[in-house]
């Protein structure tokens, strides 16, 4: 009887171990967002392009860009020279094997067009949604920003 009990317990352990090995860990969304923030702050538009999904969407107020080419040109390249020191402050996040999101608040330093004007400080809310593509790479699929009015930096 003891040998049957031992075989049963051993089989149960093997079964539970194989199920644990099959389960994939969700992605660390904070690391994905830090890659994005790091590339933005270093003004590395080429790296940002590699992080964007082909069918990415960007929404900011009434503005909506879609597709990698449009988002890359109209959001990334046209905005990159006007802000610096992007910081995110996550409030909520979640992930599974195929999708991950993080939302919270952000702040940026706003660079004026005229050097005689003071710098500004921008703040607002953000949501970044990542999806795993067909090749298994994580890409930014949706970005939404809601800005507060820019304040003069003190």
Domain ranges of the chain: 24-152
pLDDT of residue 97: 92
Level-2 CATH architecture, domain 24-152: Roll (3.10)
Tell me if the pTM is above 0.85. no
pLDDT at 23 over 70: no
pLDDT at 10 over 70: no
pLDDT at 88 over 90: yes
Give the tens place of pLDDT for each residue, 37-60. Answer: 999 999 999 999 999 999 999 999
| E-only strand ranges, 36-77 | 52-60, 63-66
pLDDT of residue 116: 86
Average pLDDT, the chain: 86
* Whole-Å CA distances, 145 to 19, 117, 123, 153: 40, 25, 10, 20
């Amino acid at each position: 009887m003891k040998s049957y009990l031992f075989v049963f317990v051993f089989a149960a352990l093997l079964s539970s171990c194989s199920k644990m090995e099959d389960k994939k860990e969700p992605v660390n969304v904070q690391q994905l967002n830090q890659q994005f923030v790091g590339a933005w702050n270093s003004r590395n538009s080429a790296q940002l392009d590699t992080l964007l999904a082909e069918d990415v969407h960007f929404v900011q107020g009434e503005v909506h860009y879609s597709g990698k080419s449009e988002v890359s040109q109209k959001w990334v390249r046209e905005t990159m020279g006007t802000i610096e020191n992007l910081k995110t402050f996550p409030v909520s996040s979640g992930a599974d094997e195929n999708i991950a999101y993080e939302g919270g608040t952000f702040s940026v330093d706003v660079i004026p067009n005229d050097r005689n004007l003071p710098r500004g400080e921008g703040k607002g809310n953000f949501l970044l949604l990542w999806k795993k593509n067909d090749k298994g790479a994580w890409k930014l699929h949706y970005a939404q920003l809601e800005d507060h009015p820019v304040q003069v930096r003190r």
